[in-house]
Each structure stands twice: as C-alpha cells, then as structure tokens.
Amino acid sequence: MSATLIDGKAIAADLRAKVAAAASRLARDHGLVPGLAVVLVGEDPASAVYVRNKGKATVEAGLASFEHKLAATTSQAELLALVSRLNADPAVHGILVQLPLPPQIDAQAVIEAIDPAKDVDGFHPVNAGRLSAGLPALVPCTPVGCVILAKTVRPQLAGCEAVVVGRSNIVGKPVAQLLLAENCTVTIAHSKTRDLPGVCWRADILVAAVGRPEMIRGDWIKPGAIVIDVGINRVEAGEGKTKLVGDVAFAEAAAVAGAITPVPGGVGPMTIACLLANTLKAASMQAGLPAPAV
C-alpha cells in the first residue's frame, strides 16, 4: 500500500470535541442546550446501532438527546404526527428520521414534513435547493464528511477534477454540489455512464457512493488520486462470518491512490460527527445566533 490512509475515526473524534467545546460555550453564554430528536421505526439491526451511536455521541458532546423508537407497523400518519410534535417542541432543534423506513411509509413525505430549520439531515427540498443555489443551508452529513476528509489531504480543492460515482439525493448529488462550491470540476457518474473506468480515471478526487461492494477497481484510479469511499457493504467472509467492505477494492486502490479512506473507519464516523455539528448550527440559527465555527 502506498496511499496515505485517511483516518476518519480520528478526524471525527476531533470534530466531535470541537462541537462539545462550542456547545459548552453556547450553554455558558446563552443558556442554550441544542437538542436532537432521532426517530427509529422498526427493528433493522444496523439502523438500531446507528441510532444508539447517535444518542451516545449527542450526550457525550453535551447536547440533549431525544430518542423515539416506533414499531415496524407504525403508519405514515402516526409518524407524521410525531414529526409535527417535534417541529413544535422548542427543546428540539434538530430532527432526524432514520432511513430506511418500512415499506408502508413514504420517506419523501416524511422528509418534507420536517421543519427545514430543524432538518439536520439536510434532506428537505428547501435545504437541497439552498445548497444547489449556493445559499446557507443545513447540508447532509455524509457529504460534508467526505469533503472534510478530502481537505485534510488537500486543503485547496479548487481546480481539481472530481468524479462522484452515484447520484442519490442523500450522498451523490449533495457531495457533487459541495465539491462544486470548492471550485472543483465535477462529474456525476452513474449506472448509465459510458466507460465508467475511463471517467473515474480522470479524477483527482474520486467519491464512490454507489452501494456496490468493491465495484471500483485499482486500475480505474489515477495514480495519486484522493479516494473517498462512502460504501458500507456487509459481505460474506467465509466460515459463516461477514465483514464490511466499501464500494472500492481497497487493496488494489491503495496501491495507486495518493490517499484513501478505509471501510470501516473512514466516512462512516464523520456522518455522526457532522450530525452533531448540524444540530449545533440549527440551534444557534433558531436562537438568532451566528453558527459557531467548528
């Protein structure tokens, strides 16, 4: 392996510590304790772990955590009623409904029911629109984490060729917008892209957010590129065991890239750290205070 390993766990810990320090100043100077409500519907084991980790990280950063666990049979109307109560609750500054949701619930309707000012996931069309217009917004956590990680290697991204593989509303599109805001030349590639290896090979910064285990091979990567792997795929590891792999074939890619994020321990931990930062920002904005720099 010749690439520098980008240590998402350490960078996320540093961001969480900065959020905790800013939260403590907010409480001391303004008596304001940012509150984050996380809603879990159903018993998906991975989602339950993520929600538990979010609650723990929230409390550790000195923020208030409100957890709502609903049965897998919860109706859309029941979930919308809870969102409406959280929108009206002054102790709740951020609302996150864990995805995926059970099939009887229309996730987009739920996202659109969240007050955009409390939308710490940054998924509401108002926030998505503001991001694409270059206006201040609550920005999705995983994409912000990707850009922070890339900038630890190359603080000035202006002029870089960036290729984002994946066009989801949650990662692909917002990360492309953020890279554009950094003055990168951005290509969004997807399942219908012709010559995907050739497109990836153009990238100084390659963001893989396609959700297919180890799809991006080492010989698709330009020597020296920064590779940010958003994929978290659980695959068979033999003898009845499983392991997590990203969307990038790590060992192959690490032999040619300049820097690369591992899975686990890369982008994943940044998602929760950026969620805390968004909650702090949302609480400050709702109180008419400037967003603390973290």
Where along the sequence are the contacts to ligand LMY7XDAE (CB under 6 A)? 50, 96-99, 121, 141-142, 232, 244, 263-265, 268-269, 271-272
Q: Which of 54, 118, 173, 281 is catalytic?
A: 54
Work out how close the CB of 155 gets to ligand LMY7XDAE at its nearest, in angstroms, rounded to a whole number: 24
Is 232 known to sit in a ligand binding site?
Answer: yes
With CA atoms as reference, report the closest residue to 1 among 162, 204, 232, 221: 221
Q: Which of 118, 119, 121, 247 is catalytic?
A: 121
Return the number of the residue (166 or 268) whose C-beta is nearest ligand LMY7XDAE.
268
Is 11 known to sit in a ligand binding site?
Answer: no
- Is residue 98 part of the annotated active site? The answer reads yes
Work out how close the CB of 121 gets to ligand LMY7XDAE at its nearest, in angstroms, rounded to a whole number: 5
Rounded CA-CA distance 276/282 in Å is 10
Rounded CA-CA distance 169/108 in Å is 11
Is 218 known to sit in a ligand binding site?
Answer: no
State both tokens at 214.
Answer: 């180890």
Return the number of the residue (190 or 234) whose C-beta is nearest ligand LMY7XDAE.
234
Is 166 known to sit in a ligand binding site?
Answer: yes
Describe the crossing of helices 267-286 and 8-30 by its angle, rounded to 10 degrees: 20
Rounded CA-CA distance 182/272 in Å is 22
- Is residue 121 part of the annotated active site? The answer reads yes
Rounded CA-CA distance 230/16 in Å is 20
Give 3-state DSSP helix, strand, coil % of the chain, rounded to 5.
Answer: 45, 20, 40
Return the number of the residue (196 or 253) whose C-beta is nearest ligand LMY7XDAE.
253
Annotated binding site for NADP(+): 166-168, 232
